[in-house]
Amino acid sequence: MTQILLVGKGEKKLFILPKMANRHGLIAGATGTGKTVTLQVLAENFSRIGVPVFLSDVKGDLSGISKPGKEHPKITERVNTIGISDFSFSGNPVTFWDVFGEQGHPIRTTISELGPLLLSRLLNLNDTQTGVLSLIFRITDDDGLLLLDIKDLRSILQYAGENATEFTTEYGRISRASVGAIQRKLLSLEDQGGDIFFGEPALNLDDFLQTDENGNGIINILAANKLMRSPRIYATFLLWLLSELFEQLPEAGDPEKPKLVFFFDEAHLLFDNAPDALQEKIEQVARLIRSKGVGVYFVSQNPLDIPDEVLGQLGNRIQHALRAYTPRDQKAVRAAAQTFRTNPKLDTEVAITELGVGEALISFLDEKGRPNIVEQALIRPPFSQIGPIESKERQRIIQGSLVHGFYEKSVDRESAYEMLKRRAEQAPKAAPVKKKKTGRQRQGIVETMAKSAARSVGRQIATQLMRGILGSILK
């Protein structure tokens, strides 16, 4: 059964132990060194032992995992070199997802489920604006208002801004300037397509945790090639997904195999410019989600993209080639080499720079959770197709999915927008107030000159009167 989890071969065949798969992992290497194929191999390995998988398809070429591969001289050579006697091409059960609903089933969440911390990250708010947003969420909770989509958030922001004085006493100062800034950020988010992400029906995580009739885990593929144009939305969405898994899944202890394996491609986007509070949240989730039976595998070009606190928790390592052209590249090579358990037969630092395509340095955890010594290995070919499938094939799989038709129909139930609108309509209409002219109103040139002259004459008369009064007193 362990041969199902074969990843590659060095001096010996290298396997990931299912029991250690939830101890997380890292796939690193420069562009074009074979990370995508390695990710594909790992995903189909987990699927074959009944573990559901979630992965993001950044480049749009992972859809081929749903279709059997084809004979090729290079594949045949690699299979013979590794010594896989029972190698046979086969596809895997796949469900396609897409935030925009174009290349898969739509994925939505609500404003309330995302929460103020992640929403602040999504909107790139400063500390003051984040504080105001947190107060807004507190107001909605106390007032029984649902925040489902962007129009709900916009309406409660307007409501809070108009009644800022009233709310300040109970909740703290609500700056109208901060409210206006958040409103402008929401407009920018809508321009990036973020409004599509919020609404109902919200994603049911159980739909990720499925197996097919043969007991194979469903591979959930997120179409991220378009989503990557908005990297902040991409990173926030995946972090929200991890947080939801952490909060909803029960404790699993040390299962024989994971409940779900989660691959986070372009992992550096998760940590770029993240505030301290969010950074701590990421570290906490990475540290504790293992006990929920979830394995998280980060995919990145450079190990330095991952904070040390997180990197130290990634037990299963696959390092593809890195090129040491610049001082930073050289630093990355040294850092990558130092994370492996030393092999006396291998100069790890030199090997990293000399690896070919489809070669990697591998160190997996043994049955006691200890990292094995690093080995240089050839990655086995996937059983499935390398490269994307045609759009017609993708649509056929989407239409044959068990969840087809459910997420495609959006629902707009009564929430904050409708409730606040009804309150405004039911409120007694006040008598119109005649606006007074203020000094801030613009004046014509003639009017201005006349007022200036009048003020000057007035000052002269007042001066003369004052002098006369003082003179009579002093006599």
Structure confidence at residue 460 (pLDDT): 53
448 assigned to some structural domain: no
Q: Are residues 258 and 287 in the same domain?
A: yes
Structure confidence at residue 453 (pLDDT): 46
Percent of the chain at pLDDT above 70?
89
Prediction pTM value? 0.85
Q: Are residues 188 and 208 in the same domain?
A: no
Q: How far apart are CA 179 and CA 157, in angstroms?
A: 6
Q: Are residues 103 and 135 in the same domain?
A: no
Give the number of domains in the chain: 2
Q: Are residues 209 and 68 in the same domain?
A: yes
Most confident of 207-211, 250-254, 306-310: 207-211
Torsion on CA atoms 225, 227, 228, 229, rounded to nearest 10: 110
Structure confidence at residue 444 (pLDDT): 44
Residue 152: pLDDT over 60: yes
275 assigned to some structural domain: yes
**Edge-to-edge order in the sheet of strand 375-379:** 13-15, 6-9, 375-379, 359-363, 316-319, 25-28, 294-300, 260-264, 53-57, 219-223, 94-98, 105-106
Element (H, E) at 299: strand 294-300
419 assigned to some structural domain: no
Q: Are residues 115 and 103 in the same domain?
A: no
Long-range contact pairs involving 69-74 (C-beta distance under 8 Å, separation at least 24): 69/381, 69/382, 69/383, 69/384, 69/385, 69/386, 70/385
415 assigned to some structural domain: no
Q: Are residues 251 and 120 in the same domain?
A: no
Q: What pLDDT, in 10s, does the model give residues 179-217?
A: 999 999 999 888 877 778 899 999 999 999 999 999 999
Neighbours of 351 (CB within 10 A): 21
Band (pLDDT 50/70/90 cuts) for residue 464 is low
Q: Are residues 156 and 224 in the same domain?
A: no
Residue 225: pLDDT over 60: yes
The mean-pLDDT minimum among 50-54, 336-340, 369-373 falls in: 336-340
Residue 238: pLDDT over 80: yes
137 assigned to some structural domain: yes
Q: Are residues 129 and 50 in the same domain?
A: no
Higher pLDDT, 373 or 454: 373
Here the CATH number for the domain that contains residue 96 is: 3.40.50.300
Structure confidence at residue 317 (pLDDT): 95
Report strand pairing: 359-363 vs 375-379. Answer: antiparallel
Structure confidence at residue 302 (pLDDT): 85
Average of per-residue pLDDT across 155-159:
93
436 assigned to some structural domain: no
Band (pLDDT 50/70/90 cuts) for residue 428 is low
Q: What pLDDT, in 10s, does the model give residues 263-284?
A: 988 888 888 877 777 788 888 8
Band (pLDDT 50/70/90 cuts) for residue 429 is low
Write the CB contacts of 452 (distance below 8 Å, at least 6 apart in sequence): none
One DSSP character per residue, 363-400 reads E-B-TTSPBPBPEEEEEPPPSB-SSPPPHHHHHHHHHT
Q: Is 271 left (phi over 0), alpha (psi -120 to 50) or beta?
A: alpha
Q: What pLDDT, in 10s, does the model give residues 316-369?
A: 999 999 988 888 888 889 988 988 999 999 999 999 999 999 999 999 999 999
- Which of 372, 389, 406 corresponds to the end of one domain? 389
Q: What pLDDT, in 10s, does the model give residues 55-101?
A: 999 988 999 999 999 999 999 999 999 999 889 999 999 999 999 89
Q: Are residues 19 and 126 in the same domain?
A: no
Structure confidence at residue 76 (pLDDT): 94
413 assigned to some structural domain: no
Average of per-residue pLDDT across 301-314:
87
- Which of 389, 423, 439 corresponds to the end of one domain? 389
Q: What pLDDT, in 10s, does the model give residues 380-421?
A: 999 999 999 999 999 999 999 999 999 999 899 999 999 999
Range of the domain at 280: 2-108+204-389
- Which of 167, 197, 227 corresponds to the end of one domain? 197
342 assigned to some structural domain: yes
Q: Are residues 352 and 240 in the same domain?
A: yes
The mean-pLDDT minimum among 213-217, 230-234, 456-460 falls in: 456-460
Residue pair 16/5 in contact (Cβ under 8 Å)? The answer is yes
Q: Are residues 324 and 375 in the same domain?
A: yes
Q: Are residues 247 and 311 in the same domain?
A: yes
